[in-house]
A and B are shown apart, each in its own frame.
Chain A
Amino acid sequence: MNIIEKFNQLSFVIGFFFIIIAVVLIGGYLLIAQLAHDENLYTGIGMLVFGLIMLKVKSE
């Protein structure tokens, strides 16, 4: 199944969404002083893990 076809799977869409959000939070924590709060890092890691799990789940 190619990447385009995977977007027909809801779990893949959800996983992809949370990975992007995690990248924004973790990237912000590492690169931008205003975003360098532990809360952003921990939440970002949590969302990254959740996103990766959802990518692996076969929903349909």
Chain B
Amino acid sequence: MKLLAVVIAAACFLAAAMYWTGAWQIGTSHPGPHHLHAVVFAVIGVLSLVWFRFQSARS
């Protein structure tokens, strides 16, 4: 589960960076940077790290 948390966090931060720079347009209505999408993915990335923290403290 710890590995899964890290993988999800990495994927979310990557998605956040791609949306922020406008390199990724999946699920968007217009071309260009999508800061709102980026912020949401960054928040999910942080939450995944919190999940990792909970897993680490348990083991």
| Binding partners A and B | no
Q: Which residues of A contact B (CB under 8 A)?
A: none
